[in-house]
Chain A
């Protein structure tokens, strides 16, 4: 498609000059509009992954930048490519990394299950509520999401510490005699993740459950199914796409979480996001940090693809 004089784009006055230049270059307005978001995302989203991959094959050196270049010219002028799998071998050999990946997956899975257990009844209740109440409850679910994530995690620090609100309350109520250690444990990390990502669980579930056709439920009831049986045989299977979408939206960011384990977790709470952060900011080993990121990327690609396929299916419907 070329911008011939008949191209409607050239008819609108302020664009005429620019359009003519691009038309002369053989670029149509359509191509130009596609090119802007495409180029931005190519340069600032896709290309960075290639840079990441390439630096994960470099060696750390003390220089600026702190890694070896990809190629070097020999004395006789031939190009030599310098790439090493040393960083990946290092990740395999040091138990720290394997443990961190496994413990990230464990923490993400457990948090996702708890988010589902807390989020499902809320989403169900909101979806089945009559109108004014439904909007208000939905707003109440979304509202914390708009306030600072960092400050919400911080709020739990004051809540969970030894002299914190929960301990004071439990001692006052006579449930416990001495304060419990909750902050700086894995338990606090679970709470932090569930708390932060709960809206991400509730919203897709809510979107799915509002579309639930009452006729299905009535049919089940007419056929003699108890409410419990109806729930497990009709509602739950029909809401499966919402469950998958919500779970992935909690699981994927939880895997790479840094702030929550840093603020709420203890020194022995291993999470891969934290390892990457320390590798980069404390050890200043950019190549190893890149290798950690590449392996983490492999870990989250499968759930991302699953999420996208669920969403594409929903769109086709």
Chain B
């Protein structure tokens, strides 16, 4: 190691404190009795109770879950097909275009994606009559598009690492391309698709900017409701909500990580 003894570990500890201190303080203060978010007034679960009685938040959470579920499903289909086409199909017309289109949403500033998709939906409604108004459908389409990019990255790297001789063997034994894909390729890349689905689901649950542009009246997602609450300042029930979300996500990530590791070990 080039770090002189303690400099490097100190820098690393500082980095992790920086990453985790705000989250930990958020969790601690969610159990605070006092409405003054940063003054400790004793342990209480009062804000969790208020959260469960808040219809607006519960409705928004339901909208967000529906959107995330369908966006993740569609994103896995579009992203996996895109990755498969790029890795396995060799040269075809528009290959370069597809490569660019599938990675660009990863880094495109959200305000641009959101605004341009909204303008597309508005123009389509004027000329084609679809989508009539904006709401769940338009949010799902928008989320699918940017989530597909993330799925494609994961699926591409898995497809590249995959042993192609398995597919060749199946082909030699007379399986058609569709059969090879569903019987050989798909099962092998499934762990990558599971990660991709989960990533797409989380990204969709998390998105505020794109959803704000393309949603319509009556379709507020959870981040939209949270944003309108916290814009005015810190509010204790959002702390409780954050703690619940952080808890669920942490447990889910640990379980999935553990399962993928186990599967990777079994596959070896």
- Chain A residues near B (Cβ < 8 Å): 8-12, 15, 29-30, 33-34, 36-38, 40-49, 51-52, 55, 65, 118-119, 121-122, 124-126, 128, 139-144, 146-152, 154-159, 161, 163-165, 168, 195, 198, 227-228, 230-231, 235, 248-249, 252-253, 255-259, 262-263, 273, 276-277, 280-281, 286, 289-290, 293, 296-297, 300, 304, 307-308
Residues of A within 8 A of B2 (CB): 227-228, 230-231, 235
Q: Which of A41, A128, A259, A308 contacts B82 (CB 8 A)?
A: A41
Is the beta-carbon distance between A259 and B176 smaller than 8 angstroms?
no
Q: Which of B8, B98, B213 contacts A125 (CB 8 A)?
A: B8
Q: Which of A48, A124, A151, A296 contacts B245 (CB 8 A)?
A: A151
- The residue on B at minimum CB distance from A41 is B101
Do most interface residues of chain B lie in helix, strand or loop, or is the interface mixed?
A: helix
Is the beta-carbon distance between A273 and B109 smaller than 8 angstroms?
yes
Min Cβ gap B240→A in Å is 11
Contacts A122-B11, A144-B19, A293-B115 known; A44 to B141 CB distance under 8 Å? yes
Contacts A128-B1, A154-B226, A256-B112 known; A195 to B22 CB distance under 8 Å? yes
Min Cβ gap B24→A in Å is 9
Min Cβ gap A33→B in Å is 6
Query: Which residues in chain B, 215-244, are within 8 Å of chain A measured between CB atoms?
Result: 223, 226-227, 230-231, 233-234, 238-239, 241-242
- The residue on A at minimum CB distance from B183 is A12
Q: Which of A157, A164, A296 contacts B112 (CB 8 A)?
A: A296
CA of A122 to CA of B231, assembled, Å:
33
Is the beta-carbon distance between A48 and B120 smaller than 8 angstroms?
yes
* Total contacting residues, chain B, CB less than 8 A: 91
- The residue on B at minimum CB distance from A281 is B212
- Chain B residues near A (Cβ < 8 Å): 1-4, 8-9, 11-12, 14-16, 18-23, 25-26, 29, 36-39, 77-79, 81-82, 84-85, 89, 92, 94, 97-98, 100-105, 107-113, 115-117, 119-120, 122-123, 126, 141-142, 144-145, 148, 175-179, 202, 205-206, 208-209, 212-213, 223, 226-227, 230-231, 233-234, 238-239, 241-242, 245-246, 249-250, 253, 257
Residues of B within 8 A of A33 (CB): 81, 84-85, 89
- The residue on A at minimum CB distance from B178 is A12
Contacts A33-B81, A252-B107, A277-B111 known; A195 to B18 CB distance under 8 Å? yes
